[in-house]
Amino acid sequence: MDANGYRRPRNLRARSMLAGEASAAAAEVESSFAVPPDPTAAAFFDVDNTIMQGASLFHLARGLYKRKFFTTREIAGAAWKQAYFRFAGVEDPEHVESARASALAFIAGHAVSELELVGNEIFDETMASRIWPGTRAIAQRHLDEGQRVWLVTAAPVEIARIIARRLGLTGALGTVAESVDGVYTGRLVGDMLHGPAKADAVLALAREEGLDLERCSAYSDSFNDLPMLSLVGHPCAVNPDSHLRYHARKHGWAIVDYRTGRKAAKAGLMGAAVAGAVTGAALGAARARRR
């Protein structure tokens, strides 16, 4: 059953567990944390709107578009979904699934090493400036206390590793895209690392690393991450959507929000406007080519 008491169909549960176990197996751990001062405690951070403003996979998709990985029509669709995400302040499951699945499909036929190289460039171009300083400070506090810190995201694990490495974190759990001989096939190992699959990944990693989940912390902005947040002894809602804020208050969870009311509204409107401009530009370019 999930965190709300609903039983997931067996095939979906199996794919969720496969995605979680594959991500835990692919987790990258820095050698400096081989023997941590606090071996049984760790912190798990969602990425989108928790560590980073907006959707990391949209930033990746925009960078890949600039490098001719896919078409204007495809980036227009991604821009619309990003606008919805930023303006509404919550993740619509259908938008999330289609946007992320499409972004993973774009890398089919490309080498794993190519995505890792391009990913580092894209982080410098568009992601670094969008890191929430407050959440980054929380992550650093866990590191200073000798705890390991992992990112847990639906983005490809290769991109998650880059973000974790550039922020000085321990490692990352992310969606595992299948590759054969170092080339992406366009298929996934299990499902997207989203919702219940994140909890499965954290459970698998906790078993592997000998973590006491009651001593661990988890951070997210989305009600979709309730399964992961409910696993640990110290859950925290960061820039939460309305559903997660209600749940956190009801259960006495910590809440931190780096958006004042006015700034949050402004950020949402600006995000929608920027994404809308990208959409308009992309569609305009497509019409021009048709003429």
Q: Distance between CA atoms of 275 and 291, rounded to whole angstroms?
A: 24
Q: What is the DSSP letter of 190?
A: S
146 touches 38 (CB < 8 A):
yes
3-class DSSP assignment, residue 149: strand
pLDDT at res. 92: 55
pLDDT at res. 281: 35
Sign of CA dihedral 109, 113, 114, 119: positive
**pLDDT in tens for each of the 291 residues of the chain?**
555 554 555 565 666 666 556 566 666 555 444 545 899 999 999 999 999 998 888 888 788 888 877 666 655 555 555 555 444 444 555 655 555 555 566 778 888 888 888 999 999 999 999 999 999 999 999 999 999 999 999 888 889 999 999 999 999 999 888 889 989 887 878 777 888 999 999 999 999 999 999 999 999 999 999 999 999 999 999 999 999 999 999 999 999 999 865 444 444 444 433 334 333 333 333 343 333
Q: What is the DSSP letter of 36?
A: -
Q: Distance between CA atoms of 148 and 31, rounded to whole angstroms?
A: 11
Q: What is the DSSP letter of 129?
A: G
pLDDT at res. 225: 95
Return the amino acid letter for 198: K
Residues recognised as catalytic: 46, 48
pLDDT at res. 178: 86
Q: Distance between CA atoms of 62 and 74, rounded to whole angstroms?
A: 10
pLDDT at res. 12: 55
Reported as a single tens digit per residue, the pLDDT across 86-95 is: 444 445 556 5
pLDDT at res. 285: 36
129 touches 145 (CB < 8 A):
no
Reported as a single tens digit per residue, the pLDDT across 230-288 is: 999 999 999 999 999 999 999 999 999 998 654 444 444 444 333 343 333 333 333 43
pLDDT at res. 195: 87
Q: Hey, which bits of 138-200 come out as E strands?
A: 148-156, 171-175, 177-180, 183-188
171, containing H or E segment: strand 171-175
pLDDT at res. 288: 37
Reported as a single tens digit per residue, the pLDDT across 68-83 is: 776 666 555 555 555 5
